[in-house]
Structures are given as C-alpha cells and as structure tokens.
C-alpha cells in the first residue's frame, strides 16, 4: 500500500518517554535563575507530584500489561517490558536530578535568604528541647509503631504515605526481639513544622516532620534502642476499574473502588539514600518489586511536602508578582450579562481575564425571574465552589437545574461523589453522563423566557469550572446566544440524560461522533490545497498529541507542503523534522508561570479559515472514549484576537521548548533585550495592574 511508510515505528515518539521529557521541562524551571526563588521550589514540588501520578497511572498500567503477558504495542512498536525498562532509566535520572537541585541549588539559596530547613545536626540545644516537647505532645500520642513478628505481620502502608522502617536492639516488655518495626506517619500531620520565635534564629526556620520522628523514634519502643530509622514511601496502582456492562449504580460502584486505590498493587518504592541494602531487599520482597522499581532519595522522601514552605513564608519579592485579572469593558459597564451577550459573542482568556463573569452569569440566572432552566457540566470544581453555590441558589429559587457530574474525573472521584450527594439534597437533578465515556465537555446553558420565546445563553470552555485553576491554567471561555450553537448544546445535554439517537449537530463537533472525522477532513483539506499549489496552513494548540491517524494525516499534509505549527504542552508522539516526512512541522512546548491548557485548532482554508476551540486534546481517549465538544469561533474580531495571541506563543523565545527529531527538547534562549514571553505579554495586555 502507498501509505505503508506511515507504520514505520521510527516516526513515532513513545508517549511515556515523551511524558518524562515534559517532567524534565518542569524540573528545568526549578533551575532557572530568572524565576523567583520560592516559585522555583514550587516547580521542584510539581515535578515530583507529576512523576507520582505518572507512576500511579501510566507505569501501573504497563505493569498490568506485563503481568498478563500482553504484547500490546503502540505506533512506536515498544512492548510493555521495553517501555518499563526505558522508563526506569529516565525516571531514575530525573529523581537524582531533583535531589541535586534541592541540595546543591535551592537549599543554599534559601539559606542565604534566611529561609532554613534545619537538619538534625543543625539543631541547637534550645531547638532540640522544643522539638522533643513537640514530639511528645503532637506526634507520639497518635503514632502506632508495629514491631514485626508472627503476630504482627508487615502492614500495608497507604498509597504515597510516609513510613519508616526501624531496626531495633533489645527486648520489649514481653521479652520479644523483633529486630524490625514499621512506623506509619498519620496523614493528618503537617510534614513541615515552623520553629517558634522563641527558639528560631531567623523568621523562617523549619524542621521536617521526618527529621523529628527520626530523632525520637526510640521513644516509641520503650526498653529498646533504635539502631536505624529510614524513610520509605510506596506508590500504588491508582487506576479504578468499573465494569460498564455489570454496573447498575455508577456512584455506588465507584465508592467501592475508591478504597482499593489506597491499597492497590505497589509500582514504586522510594527509599532513604542511607538505607542498608538488606532492608531494601526486605522491603522490595514485601511489596513484590524488582530492583528497577526502587528509587533512592538523597533527602526527604516526597519532595511535594516542601510545597508548604512557599505558603508559610511571607516574602513577596521571592514569589511571582500578584496581578488582578481584568473584566472586559463590555461586561464591566453593564449589570445585565444577558444584554451584553445579545450584543455579540464574548471571549474570555483566563487567567489574564477574570473567571468572575461566569460566576456572575450563574448568579444572575439564579435571581432572574425570566430564567427557567440551567444546565451545567462539572468535571473538576473544587470543594468550596462559587459555581456550586450559584447552582444551589438557583435550585432553591425554583429554577429547573440539571447538572452532569463526571464521577470518574481522575483523583477527584471522591470529591465529585460528595458534590453529587450535596446537589441532590438541595433539589438539583444530577446525572452521571454515560458509563464508559467520560463527560469531559465544558458546557453551561441558561434558558430564559423573553417575550413569547425561549432564548438559550451558552458558555463553552476549554477548561474546568474551577475558580482556583482559573487563576493557574490558561483557558478560553466563550459566551454566546447563537441559536444554532444553543440548539446543539441542548442536544448534547439530552444525549447525556436520555437514551435517544444522536442527531446531527449544526455547528458543534462532538466526541465520540464527529470530532475525529472532522479534524482528519480539515487536515486533508489543507493537504489538497497545498497539492494544488495553494498555501496550506495549520496551527493547533493542545496538551497532548498522540492519536496515530491524526499524526499520519499531519505527516501527509507536511509532505504536500502544508506549513504546520503545533503548540503541545506535554506529550507529543509526532516526530518533527524528519526529512521528507515532517520537514514542514514545528512543535513547541510552553512551560511557564501558568499551566497551558487552551486547545484551539486553526485551518486557513485558502484565506477562508476555520477556527475551533475545544475541551479535547488530540488523543484517542478524547476522540473515542469521552464526550467532548469543539466549537467554532465565527466572529471575525474574536478570530483575529485569538490568532494574534497565538503569535505570542509562536514567537516566544524565553519559555518555549522546541521538539527535536530525536524526541528531546531544546530550550529557546534570548538576550534580555529581545526576550519575548507569551504569558508575560498576555499579562501586560489583558490583566489589570
């Protein structure tokens, strides 16, 4: 066949190794002298947290495949076993680099600023006495050490919880000689303890909980002596399994699965650097892990715990400058958001522009006697949500409120179960979408009686309805009362709540029905134009690019002469710069103060462009296993605005990383005079002072 060359594994970057390259880019922020010091510490913690989730989900899945003897291969043709070996090599290098950055770079710089994390050898007598009292008062009463003997088998530590393995000398009160014990640290305890002014030598001196326990662990074993005390942490498989064919009640089935996440199969063991080899072997056997699964830590196990330090330190000069998201004049100068939307579509770009207008949209809907119905999707919302409060107020005032909650939002399942229960108790109609297809679409629709007609007001977004992440993630949100879009959104809500057949939508593209097919067609349209000698052009921005058919269509487009710019924050399996295949494709990743989360797709169409915003990445799961929406931007002014803002990203030379043909990324460097940053430019242009 003429397209056999597209199956060449060398044209595809392994998705897991690509993810680890993203982790490397995040870690690089912790090394950047141009970033405020406490923000660099935050980036180090984020790199640790991102790696945790990678092991919990991706590595766990590969281990399951390996255990079952699966030979499933992706386009890169790597087996699960081959991927696990490659992951172990790269991940160990990243972990070692994390601790080098902490010990050799950040801690010395923090110390210069009077922010000290004291090790045991640093304590003076006064500090040691205070910490002894703290241990006796706050820690010892709630800790339950377990001596290992036939009556006390090895316990199962919770997923990612801090624990110690302790070696002991002597006999306990019953004459037992255990030799070993496990001390599990309650999760309720803060991992960072601030020393009080009475014994601190600087305003910001801290001691890690692990250091306090290590110093006083013998007190937990009266009559015995601890001869060694070593931190460890086990990461477990956190994938949840719900059989779509067997489940009758998704909420109850999911509640049953959540407990298994805490005690799933072990996939990684993190261990103190100085732990003796025989104890490593002992722990590995208990968790049924191989030497490749053990990661030695030259410092505190779980660096994410250090994220408390920037929160505890009041040093604004060591953090990013604050800013106030702006509100567009069209919304700022009116008390009637519905009138503003009737005058024309409104686009918001978060976090540079405020998320408050969406909250106001719901609050005004709750109060307005003309509003008869509100429909809303919720994927991640946060525990204390202004969105939820507005929906509750609307239900309390007699509006018909229906909410589609995605219970299977990864790591937010428990919070979403609580949310669903709360909303149902106040009269909100709650549905859980479609079993087997996550509802990832970001939609809100208000139906309002105006004269003799009902008008639909719609908000569509690329990100979650979450007030906190709206300050941290870049996302677009569109307000419109376009009749066709309103009808489409209503149909999608009906699909989620009823069992009817899918009818063709007028303007929206939707997964799992039309989005993938249409994206392929739009790419092929540019290919056809280029083949006929016209200037084909594609610009796309997303979090991940993995789906093979999309990649193949992009390769064919590049061969035809289409100029393609891809802004892919995280995983990218497409290999750019391959001669004769992807010469015309450039891929860059922007890693900066905010997490890039917008998804937009631009197809020039011989200067008659189509531009879409979407909740979906170009991944198989988004195209085929989720309910997603992709919506057109038809207002010419808004299209020009989005393209102009896109140029900021394409010209960024300070926070951009360019993907190379070998799968590595090269950071762009610019002189101070010629420095360009998309995020900083958008802050300057859109945010208030």
CATH of the domain at 436: 3.30.870.10
- Looking at the structure, do residues 419 and 555 belong to the same domain, yes or no? no
Query: Within a domain: residue 324?
Result: no
Query: Could you tell me if 117 and 14 lie in one domain?
Result: yes
Let me know: does 557 contact 6? Beta carbons within 8 Å.
no
Its domain, for residue 646, covers: 510-686
Tell me what pLDDT residue 245 has.
42
**pLDDT at 3 (0 to 100):** 74
- Distance (Å, whole) CA 489 – CA 486: 5
For the chain, state the CA radius of gyration.
27
618: Cβ contacts below 8 Å, ≥ 6 apart: 519, 540, 542, 544, 545, 546, 547, 550
Separation CA 58–CA 569 (nearest Å): 18
- Look at residue 435 and tell me whether its pLDDT is greater than 80: no
In the set 216, 349, 437, 440, the catalytic residue is 440
The average confidence (pLDDT) of the chain is 91
* Distance (Å, whole) CA 96 – CA 478: 44
Domain-embedded: residue 323:
no
Taking Cα atoms as reference points, which of 514, 594, 525, 527 lies closest to residue 563? Answer: 527
For the segment 216-273, what is each residue's pLDDT rounded down to a tens digit?
Answer: 999 999 888 899 999 999 999 987 443 444 434 434 433 444 444 455 789 999 999 9
Residues 542 and 462 in one domain: no
* Mean pLDDT, rounded, for 121-142: 95
Whether 617 is covered by a domain: the verdict is yes
- Compute the CA torsion angle 161, 167, 172, 177 (nearest 10 deg): 120
In the structure, what pLDDT confidence band is assigned to residue 561 with cuts at 50, 70 and 90? very high
The pLDDT-based confidence of 7 (bands split at 50, 70, 90) is confident
User: Does 71 share its domain with 195?
Assistant: yes
* pLDDT score of 422: 77
574 and 449 within one domain: no
3-state DSSP: the chain helix, strand, coil percent, rounded to 5? 40, 25, 35
Question: Could you give the number of structural domains in the chain?
Answer: 3
Average pLDDT over residues 83-94: 97
Phi, psi of 34 (to 5 degrees): -80, -5
Whether 269 and 131 share a structural domain: yes
Q: Is 152 helix (H, G, I), strand (E, B) or coil?
A: strand
| Cα separation, 89 vs 649, whole angstroms | 32
Q: Which of 478, 504, 530 is the last residue of a domain?
A: 504
pLDDT for residue 47: 96
pLDDT digit string, tens, across residues 662-672:
999 999 988 77
35 with 174, same domain?
A: yes
Give how far Cα 436 sits from Cα of 38, 75, 242, 407, 621, Å. Answer: 42, 24, 9, 11, 11
Assess whether pLDDT exceeds 70 at residue 432.
Answer: yes
Each residue of 478-519: pLDDT tens digit? 999 999 999 999 999 999 888 667 789 999 999 999 999 999
Give domain status of residue 460, yes or no.
Answer: yes
Output the pLDDT for position 672.
74
Same domain, 333 and 449: yes
pLDDT at 653 over 70: yes
Q: Is 540 helix (H, G, I), strand (E, B) or coil?
A: strand
Instruction: Give yes or no: residues 159 and 302 share one domain.
Output: yes
What's the CA gap between 74 and 80, in Å, rounded?
10
Which of 428, 352, 425 lies closest to 387, judged by CA?
A: 428
User: In the annotation, is 440 catalytic?
Assistant: yes
Same domain, 615 and 483: no
């Amino acid at each position: 066949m003429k397209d056999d060359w597209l199956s060449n594994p060398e044209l595809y970057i392994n998705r897991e190794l690509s993810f680890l390259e993203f982790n490397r880019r995040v870690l690089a922020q912790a090394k950047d002298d141009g970033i405020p010091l406490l923000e660099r510490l935050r980036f180090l913690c984020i790199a640790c947290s991102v790696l945790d989730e990678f092991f919990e989900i991706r590595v766990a899945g590969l281990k399951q495949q390996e255990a079952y003897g699966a030979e499933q291969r992706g386009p890169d043709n790597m087996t699960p076993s081959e991927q696990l070996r490659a992951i172990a090599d790269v991940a160990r290098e990243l972990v070692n680099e994390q601790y080098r950055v902490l010990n050799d770079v950040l801690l010395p710089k923090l110390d210069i600023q009077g922010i000290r994390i004291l090790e045991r050898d640093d304590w003076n007598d006064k500090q040691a006495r205070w910490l002894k009292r703290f241990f006796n008062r706050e820690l010892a009463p709630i800790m339950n050490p377990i001596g290992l003997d036939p009556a006390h088998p090895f316990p199962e530590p919770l997923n990612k919880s801090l624990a110690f393995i302790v070696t002991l000398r002597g006999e306990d009160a019953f004459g037992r000689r255990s030799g070993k014990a496990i001390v599990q640290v309650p999760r309720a305890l803060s991992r960072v303890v601030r020393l009080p002014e009475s014994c601190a030598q600087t305003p910001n001196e801290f001691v890690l909980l692990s250091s306090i326990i290590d110093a006083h662990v013998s007190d937990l074993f009266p009559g015995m002596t601890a001869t060694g005390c070593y931190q460890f942490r086990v990461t477990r498989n956190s994938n949840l399994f719900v059989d779509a064919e067997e489940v009758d009640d998704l909420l109850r089935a999911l509640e049953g699965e959540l407990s298994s996440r805490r005690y799933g199969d072990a996939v990684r063991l993190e261990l103190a650097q100085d732990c003796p080899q025989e104890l490593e072997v002992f722990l590995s056997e208990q968790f049924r892990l191989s030497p490749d699964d053990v990661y030695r830590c030259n410092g505190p196990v779980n660096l994410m715990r250090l994220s408390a330090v920037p929160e505890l330190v009041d040093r604004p000069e060591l953090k990013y400058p604050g800013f106030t998201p702006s509100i567009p004049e069209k919304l700022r100068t009116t008390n009637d958001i519905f009138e503003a939307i009737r005058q024309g579509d409104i686009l918001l770009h978060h976090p540079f522009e405020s998320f408050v207008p969406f909250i106001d949209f719901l609050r005004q809907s709750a109060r307005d006697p003309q509003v008869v119905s509100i429909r809303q999707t919720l994927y991640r919302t946060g525990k204390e949500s202004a969105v939820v409060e507005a929906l509750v107020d609307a239900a309390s005032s007699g509006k018909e409120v229906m909410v589609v909650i995605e219970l299977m939002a990864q790591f937010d399942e428990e919070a979403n179960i609580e949310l669903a229960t709360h909303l149902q108790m106040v009269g909100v109609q709650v549905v859980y979408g479609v079993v087997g297809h996550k509802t990832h679409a970001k939609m809100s629709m208000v139906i309002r009686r105006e004269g003799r007609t009902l008008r639909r007001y719609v908000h569509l977004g690329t990100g979650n309805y979450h007030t906190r992440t709206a300050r941290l993630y870049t996302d677009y949100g569109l307000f419109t009362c376009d009749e066709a879009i309103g009808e489409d959104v209503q149909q999608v809500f009906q699909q989620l709540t009823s069992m009817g057949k899918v009818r063709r939508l007028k303007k929206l593209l939707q997964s799992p029905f039309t989005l993938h097919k249409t994206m392929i067609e739009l790419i092929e349209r540019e290919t056809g134009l280029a083949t006929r000698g016209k200037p084909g052009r594609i610009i796309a921005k997303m979090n991940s690019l993995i789906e093979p058919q999309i990649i193949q269509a992009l390769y064919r487009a590049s061969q035809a002469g289409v100029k393609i710019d891809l802004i892919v924050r995280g995983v990218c399996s497409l290999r750019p710069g391959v001669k004769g295949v992807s010469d015309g494709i450039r891929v860059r990743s922007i890693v900066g103060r905010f997490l890039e989360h917008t998804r937009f797709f631009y197809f020039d169409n011989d200067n008659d462009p189509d531009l879409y915003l979407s909740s979906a990445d170009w991944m198989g799961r988004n195209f085929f296993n989720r309910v997603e929406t992709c919506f057109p931007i038809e207002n010419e002014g808004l299209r020009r605005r989005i393209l102009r803002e896109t140029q900021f990203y394409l010209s960024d030379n300070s926070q951009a990383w360019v993907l190379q043909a070998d799968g590595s990324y090269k950071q762009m460097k610019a002189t101070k005079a010629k420095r360009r940053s998309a995020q900083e430019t958008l802050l300057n242009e859109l945010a208030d002072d």
